[in-house]
Chain A
Amino acid sequence: MKPQETRPKDICLDCRQLVELDVGDITKLPPPYDDWVDEPIAEVPDEKRERFEASLDGVIGNVIPVPGTEEEKQALVEKFLVGIDKLFSKEDNWTFLQPFLLSIENCVKCNTCADACPIFEASGRVEIYRPLFRADVLRRIANRKRSKLGALTGRLTGADIPVTWETVARLADLAYRCTLCRRCAQDCPMGIDNGLIAREIRKLFSQELGIHPEELHGAGTMKQLHVGSSTGMNPMALADILEFAEEDIEERTGLNIKIPVDKAGADILIMHNAGEFLSWPENLQAFAIMFELAGLSWTIASDLVGYDSVNYGLFYDDIQYSRVTLKHAEVARKLGVKKVVMGECGHAHKAFMATGDRMWLGESNIPRESCLTLMEDLVCNEKIMVDPSRNDFPVTLHDPCNITRSMGIVMPQRKVLKKIAPQFREMTPHGVHNYCCGGGSGFAIMQSNNFPDWRMRIAGRKKFAQIISAFDDCIGPETNKYVCAPCSNCKGQIRDLLTYYEAWDRCRILYGGLVELVVNAMVDVKEGFLEWDFH
């Protein structure tokens, strides 16, 4: 079937693969990438298809084992149907029932969401990626179940999708072709949140069928709860990393800085995404330098889970989300800090603040603040002194969806950049209308099978086009350029994009956070904190 012709009812078709993707359909890039040709997305070998579902679009994202027998398939279908009932009941879905019901019941099918979705657009309008497609499959199945007259009237009321194993398996995968960026919800005239619907489908599969990407669950929240971090970083490794960070700060800046650990009663407990400790140590070092030179009372926590702000439960499972956030709250409460500051991690902002507001109750209701507003205070109120000429190179800003669109934090990072980066230029569009990096909702860490091929070519296409367009006046490799992305997950995705599109070698585009730029401009820090070395 042509990818542009599939309809929601086709999801149950008994065929090897519903949609064949063609990289020739993917939207073209602006110069100097107008002649860019993508290699096809790697084929899933037949022996793997016998073990894992690849019947949606030939991409393995949410790794779903193929059930061995018809009975097993039927048992999973039954669990799915029980899960549908639970999504619609207030006893079982106290977290998101209201916005979920509003989104299921009030869509007028105007398809404004389709033009807002970067994946649908970049794919060349592959129908299964249309935000309404996924939502409509769920809506029709639910209508059929919930209608008093059931299947008899189903065809008349748009409730005509048979729930077979094919339907269930494809829907489980389809929930992982959306980055939950919620740009569709931003644009919807009815306020329908198709991102939430995708997320609730993920929840159903995780909580009722035990189906979830290993990176988010086994190697994600479970590992975090048992070892302390989804990266596997235990408290002993943390101590080693901090010791190295202090030495490295001294070498880079000449400053002798001690990173405070478990300082009870500190004004600020900063929680970083553990990725900063392992992949982007300059980020956590920059925070340490900025806080110390600003004379702040601060600490990091060494308690299990307390040193890794990630909470992948946000992306797929309310129970796992709750376990992790309660642990974070307990660490903050035990230390008796005055507030918790979120480092440069988008989903942690949402997990600690917007969603966290419903879990951090009573004694645990400790104020939480974004590092971006804190930086705005330090830079704009001149609590640290900066020399913007040190950042005299083109800088553009990526808006992490969870910080900007979800939380409404739009101006603080821009006020900081206007003080420290004389060649700052916006992407088009930006702010709450930004495009997702393509790695949102856990995609950036889903590195298995052929999912990264799909993520680079389709999910991240719009963002890469935006990045090169923002630098179209200086795109050549003779000018160093910087994409400021104040979010670990986005940084991972942008690193992978710049690598896939060879943009460091071809265009000299580097990426990093915001705090590194701040420290690079600080007059009390030796020049050259920022290293023009792709990593």
Chain B
Amino acid sequence: MATVTLGGKDVEIDEDGFIQDPNEWNEDVALDLAKTEGVEEMGEDHWKLVHYLRDYYLKFGIAPMIRKLCKENGFSLKYVYEMFPSGPAKGACKVAGLPKPTGCV
């Protein structure tokens, strides 16, 4: 566990850079997290996906299944990888302030 500065405030992250407390998340934090994931610029679709992930997480306590997030946002998986090169689980979820995925996923 380490503390780093994200979006101008001190935030705890785990060994792989996922923030530990989803309440610490805001769009400024997301912008800095995006830089760690090789995302040059957060466009409209990036935000759409990030907000979708965060809303789902706050409601259900997990990330949505990838098939569902693609379908409900009208994105192909390929496009998700284009937006977030390290993929939906590691990249997009990290930027959305979700904890690291656990279990056999």
- Please report A residues at the B interface, Cβ cutoff 8 Å: 48, 63, 215, 219-220, 223-224, 227, 229-234, 236-237, 240-241, 244, 248, 273-275, 277-279, 281, 308, 310, 345, 444-445, 447-449, 488-489, 492, 533, 535
Contacts and interface: CB of A to CB of B under 8 A. Distances in A.
B60 A230 contact: no
Contacts of B71: 248
A310 B68 contact: no
B61 A241 contact: no
B104 A233 contact: no
B102 A232 contact: yes
Given A220-B103, A444-B104, A232 B61 contact: yes
Given A234-B60, A448-B16, A274 B103 contact: yes
Nearest to B15: A448
A232 B66 contact: no
A219 B102 contact: yes
A89 to B, nearest CB: 34
B105 A240 contact: no
A233 B102 contact: no
Most central of A48, A241, A278, A535 by chain B CB within 10 Å = A278
B103 A232 contact: yes
Contact of B61 (A220, A234, A533): A234
Contacts of A492: 104-105
Nearest to B77: A535
Contact of B67 (A63, A273, A274, A281): A281
Interface of B: 14-16, 60-63, 65-68, 71, 77, 100-105
A232 B67 CA distance: 18
B66 A279 contact: yes
8 contacts: A219-B103, A231-B101, A236-B61, A275-B105, A278-B65, A279-B105, A449-B15, A535-B66
Contacts of B104: 230-231, 273-275, 279, 310, 345, 444-445, 488-489, 492
B103 A229 contact: yes
A533 B79 CA distance: 13
Nearest to B62: A232
Given A215-B102, A234-B61, A275-B103, A244 B16 contact: no
Contact of A279 (B15, B16, B65, B100): B65
A489 B105 CA distance: 8
A310 B62 contact: no
Given A233-B62, A277-B65, A281-B65, A445 B16 contact: no
Contacts of B68: 241, 244
Nearest to B88: A535
Nearest to B101: A231
A219 to B, nearest CB: 4
Given A448-B16, A449-B15, A223 B102 contact: yes
